[in-house]
Amino acid sequence: SLVLAFGATLASARLLYRTTGGGDGDDARHIASQIVMAFSPVSLAVNPLLAICIYFKTPRATVYAMIPLAFLAKDLWAMRRWRTTASTAGGRHAFFQAITNMALDVLSRSLRRSSFFRIVVTILCFQFFVVWWWWGALKGALGHGSGFWFLVAFLAGKWASGTVARVLGFVASGGITSWFVQQSIIMEEMDKLKDSQKSAPTTEEETTENETPSNMPEEYRSANADAYQPVLDIDEGIDDDYEEEDVPSRPKLWTDGWTDSGTSTVKGFLVSALTVSFGSVAQCGLLGGLAQFVWSVLRNVEAATTGFSQRFESSSRFGFRGMQIGRDGSDGTSVVWNALIRARSMARNFVRSHTDLAMCQVAAYYKSFQRAAQDVAILVDDSGVEPIIHDDITTHMCACVCGSISGAITMFIGLILVHHQSNDKMGDTTVAQSMLLAFIMCYTLLFTVMEPLRAAIKAIYVCFAQHPRSLSQSFPLIFHRLSRISEANLV
């Protein structure tokens, strides 16, 4: 099963991260985003089929069929929430496709695509052996029947595999951040040029116009051609399979991920992820996913509480409006609400100091993970992009891809195990546990190849909060949508 999953990861990496930057790769990126979106309905069919396979092929271990049913319930709930909150039919999917095309385009521009693809394949090979070791450790713990050692092996393998995946996310976040900073510098230079043109004296221009009359517009005669620079770097979309020519040096910024020519390199970010920032990457691999889950739960609970309190506004017991925090605790309801408020505050503090959105700041500024997470939390609150991040469906779409392929591989492996069950004297529980382990390992390996896309899109949201005008020239449609939502949230 791992070999099949590894082949699927290589094909996915080829599909996503080998596209040419600029207009030449638009068709390839459009096809890639459509393929990713196509797995959303496929997952709705694969999960119940996997549950049916476990239920009928392993009748003495039907409890394991609840796991794919839980994934199905999660997908159905997510789709229901999208339909009830979306402003237009298919709006979230259309925006996901647009921002996926943008993320892949910016990655191909800011990072050398051949080098980035080689790094992705190398990390996937390393992840393959990590997952293989993890599988052996879990099977050994199940063989000895020790629940404690199974939990230890599960947590250790989850941490190790998550750290490896976050390395790819670190490199992708660094590439996105470097592109945004470069665009921000260009926009600042254009603003300075406009200001200098407005403040320039016009007496000499008027004298020249009187002496030599011409039909040339005033702006063309007064402009200095040497001061103009292109908005986009011409070399951004060029494939790096050719040797680079000598170009004028640009100001070197705050990270070793930049070369002297001003272009970011995969090697610089990878070395940073494995050396000076490895502690932050490891922390994100352990707690980043948990913080993301807690934050999603908090947002859903707050939305449900708001709707519940509006529905029963007349009652002081429901919601937070009628709650009296300063009571002496003699009322049991007050004690419960105070405990819930403290738990909510602790959960929000945990999210603000461990969110995986911090990876772009870690890659750019060499910050520690918790310091970067706190800075990003303040930035997100002040810019109004929190609803955009909450309504983003990138993680769900990536999960649909991984779950669909992993479920298909697991059903194939399960049928083989059932066919040889009588010869190998395996029980139904053993077969079901082997299928469950195969699903987890395949899912982890496939999710690794999707991590750069997830990290790139999250970095886009954070960088937009910090440099909102950087998208106005290159991606105006996405810029206007993000600006409209963020500004509406600040009102």
- pLDDT: which is higher, 21 or 3: 3
Alpha-carbon span 184 to 190, nearest angstrom: 10
Alpha-carbon span 372 to 366, nearest angstrom: 9
- What pLDDT does 226 receive? 42
- What pLDDT does 335 receive? 82
Mean pLDDT of the chain: 78
The pTM of this model reads 0.79
Mean pLDDT of 372-395: 88
Could you tell me which of 463, 468, 466, 462 has the C-alpha nearest to residue 484?
468
Alpha-carbon span 377 to 77, nearest angstrom: 27
pLDDT tens digits, 109-118: 888 888 899 9
Q: Find the range with the poorest average confidence among 103-107, 286-290, 419-423, 436-440.
A: 419-423
Does 420 score more than 60 pLDDT? Answer: yes
Does 343 score more than 50 pLDDT? Answer: yes
Mean pLDDT of 188-193: 80
Beta-ladder partners of 258: 264
Query: Buried b vs exposed e over 139-157: b needs ≥16 C-beta within 10 Å?
Result: eebbeeeeeeebeebeeeb
Name the pLDDT band for 245 (thresholds 50, 70, 90): very low
Mean pLDDT of 414-443: 82
Q: Find the range with the poorest average confidence among 85-89, 117-121, 151-155.
A: 85-89
Q: Find the range with the poorest average confidence among 399-403, 417-421, 433-437.
A: 417-421
Q: How many CB atoms lie within 10 A of CB 366?
A: 15
Mean pLDDT of 238-266: 44
pLDDT tens digits, 26-39: 888 889 999 999 99
- What pLDDT does 123 receive? 94
- What pLDDT does 374 receive? 92
Does 258 score more than 60 pLDDT? Answer: no
Amino acid at 207: T
Contacts (Cβ under 8 Å, ≥6 apart) of 480:
none
Percent of residues, the chain, with pLDDT higher than 70:
78
Helical residues (DSSP H) of 216-288, grouped into ranges: 218-222, 266-274, 278-283
Alpha-carbon span 169 to 453, nearest angstrom: 8
How far separated are the first and last CA of the chain, in Å rounded?
52
- What pLDDT does 243 receive? 40
Name the pLDDT band for 201 (thresholds 50, 70, 90): low
